[in-house]
Structure 1
Amino acid sequence: MAGTQREAQSMDLYELYVPKILVIDDDQEMRRLLEDILTREGFHVTQAANGSEALRTIQEASYQVIILDKIMTDLSGIEILPEIKRLRPEAQVILITAFGDRETCVEAMGKGATAYLAKPFGMSVLVQMVKKALEQKIGEA
């Protein structure tokens, strides 16, 4: 019994100190790749396959960083960004897109995105961006 309680306490501490990241992208391969890279960096990663699933997931749990694809099959990242910020104003949102035009960047930042990253991007760039977003979050606390 004591071992079970100790394991439960360890999981509670893990949840407290390991940053939680939500990856929202309708491309399954991209979600898996991002989860693999970010998990190896020590983050706890959850996936959502579309905007609707993302909003349900965000209502159920809090995430320090949300990586959000702009173009998805049901709701675009730009469409759900205001709702994400309403539900989780403390979350740092990184918008990723294959279309890196200036107007989209300005629109995303205006709706609450912390950062904007155009595809294709190096995974090390994304990891650095996530770490910087976490530092900003700590600075706001």
Structure 2
Amino acid sequence: MEIRKVNENKKQFLTLLLLADEQEDMIDRYLEKGAMYVLDDCGVKAECVVTDEGDGILEIKNIAVDPRHHGTGYGKALIDFLASKYADEYSVLQVGTGDSPLTIPFYEKCGFIRSHKVQNFFTDNYDHPIYEGGVQLIDMIYLQRHI
């Protein structure tokens, strides 16, 4: 297993990116300014994009694992990689997600705790309703992990 940084042609991983953020123009808002990593284990299995949000906060803007490989530890491996790689530069690893029964428990298992929320983020910023695990995503829930 290898995690490598992607510096060029980040959209070659658009299929994975769209698993975590299903509207391409929203991905375009952070993709080029963010640092992108892919996890390769006999082929790319997962990706993530992180941005510097200032005040010692590194934010995961996008993280996705190929659905055929859910539950294999690839997502957690990426998060642990980020926490280790950036521990000297940042004090907090942050992620914003919908209030979904599929994602919140995953982040909590990875050591994140709820921080704050942005009301109506999904309804105000996306051109269609987004559902995950049978729940419509409305507010952006932020979780943080000290690194």
**TM-score under structure 1 length normalisation:** 0.38
**Structure (1 or 2) with the larger CA radius of gyration:** 1
Q: Which has the higher helix share?
A: 1
Q: Which has the higher strand share?
A: 2
**TM-score under structure 2 length normalisation:** 0.37
